[in-house]
Amino acid sequence: MKKAMFMLTVTVLLTASLFANGTPEGDGGAAIYPDNVVEFVVPASAGGGSDTLARLILEIIHENNLVDGTMVIVNKPGGASAAGHAYIMGKKDGNYTIFTMNAAHALAARANKSIQDREFTPIANLAMDNVLLVAKADGPYKDFQGALKAIKEHPESILVGIADNLDKLCVAQINMETETEFSTVYFDGAGEIATALLGDHIQLGIFNPNECLGQIQAGTMVALAAFSTDRLEAPLDTVPTFAELGYPNIEFQMFRSIMGGPGMSPEVQQYWSDVMQKVTETETWKNNYIRKNGLEAKFMPADEYAEYHERMAERLYQMGNIIGLFK
């Protein structure tokens, strides 16, 4: 009898230990994660790129019954993602919080000394968003060489519209590699950059493909060069890369990924990594996100993404320091 009681006690303690460590599914299905509401935090306003990503992921999860539990999207805009990151850092149980991450937010988090960004839990990378240098179609610059010739003849004569510090880094790469000085002007989003470009207030602009593809297809804008390593897919397959133009060190892609809250257990981390992989394998994802927005499919599971994220966040931060972003 004592032996039986001892075995029962050990079993109960072991099970409790497993659940305490965040095992998604208990023995015999006694408890299946998520057994509480999971917040899908977007550190940005509704309607933006990160919000669109989160809502499509949630739609795919529901359509394909990938998660047996309740998920809600929580928008926390403000401070270039600082408000959202502070909200996530304040959650008591990281197992029930996931959030969107991208290169711009990674740079902001690494630069924000009040946020311990290394405590976030990498879950998966989903896609790479490309970057284009764009001009007005009926403007003076039909290709990058034309703009380069003009800026060398008249230094600081060309204004480039940018929306954030990542755009600034892209222009800084051009300046360093070509030994020129393209000047930058900040705008509140790609829409304002497009308006200024078409209104001849600036000469060039930095855009993601989905932000300017409609204008390019309409013939009002022209892409001079892509920051990608390889040429983009149609209809942008005619746009040369900077490497093709003789500048292999001018290269940039924005990663779009998912992370978890601080203290998320390895089991829950793997659970969400598996869910995100299933999301990226659906036709809805491929058609309504990757192809529709001109992105490059690039799934990385938790372990691979963790290494990549740390390397890229630190690289972006060091690049920002070099060009004086944080002064």
Q: What would the mean pLDDT of 285-309 be, rounded to a whole number?
A: 94
Three-state DSSP class for 78? coil
Residue 45 has which token pair? 């306003």
Q: Is pLDDT of 82 > 70?
A: yes
Name residue 200's amino acid: D
In angstroms and rounded to an integer, the radius of gyration of the C-alpha atoms of the chain is 23
Share of the chain above pLDDT 90, in %: 70
Q: Is pLDDT of 281 > 90?
A: yes
Q: What would the mean pLDDT of 225-247 be, rounded to a whole number?
A: 94
User: Over the stretch 302-319, which tens digit does the pLDDT of each residue have?
Assistant: 999 999 999 999 989 998
| pLDDT on residue 16 | 38
| pLDDT on residue 22 | 55
Cis previous bond, 34, omega within 30 = yes
Against a cut of 0.75, is the pTM above it?
Answer: yes
Q: What would the mean pLDDT of 57-82 be, rounded to a whole number?
A: 94
Q: Is pLDDT of 3 > 70?
A: no
Q: What would the mean pLDDT of 128-134 be, rounded to a whole number?
A: 95
Cβ-based neighbours of 254, under 8 Å, separated by 6 or more: 102, 103, 104, 128, 129, 130, 131, 166, 208
Which domains occur in the chain, in start order?
33-129+254-322 (3.40.190.150), 138-226 (3.40.190.10)
| pLDDT on residue 280 | 98
| pLDDT on residue 190 | 86
| pLDDT on residue 14 | 32
CB 57 within 8 A of CB 100: no
d(CA 273, CA 123): 5
| pLDDT on residue 25 | 61
Phi-psi region of 47 (alpha: psi -120 to 50; beta: other; left: phi over 0): left
Three-state DSSP class for 233? coil
d(CA 250, CA 245): 10
Q: Is pLDDT of 211 > 60?
A: yes
Name residue 4's amino acid: A
User: Over the stretch 39-56, which tens digit does the pLDDT of each residue have?
Assistant: 999 998 888 788 999 999
d(CA 200, CA 218): 18
Share of the chain above pLDDT 70, in %: 91
pLDDT band, residue 17 (cuts 50/70/90): very low
| Average pLDDT in the chain | 89
Better-predicted residue by pLDDT, 143 or 22: 143
pLDDT band, residue 11 (cuts 50/70/90): very low
Helices (H), 101-258: 103-111, 144-153, 165-178, 190-198, 209-218
Neighbours of 15 (CB within 10 A): 16
- Listed residue (104, 37, 36) closest to 73, CA to CA: 37
Q: What would the mean pLDDT of 111-120 be, rounded to a whole number?
A: 89
| pLDDT on residue 24 | 65
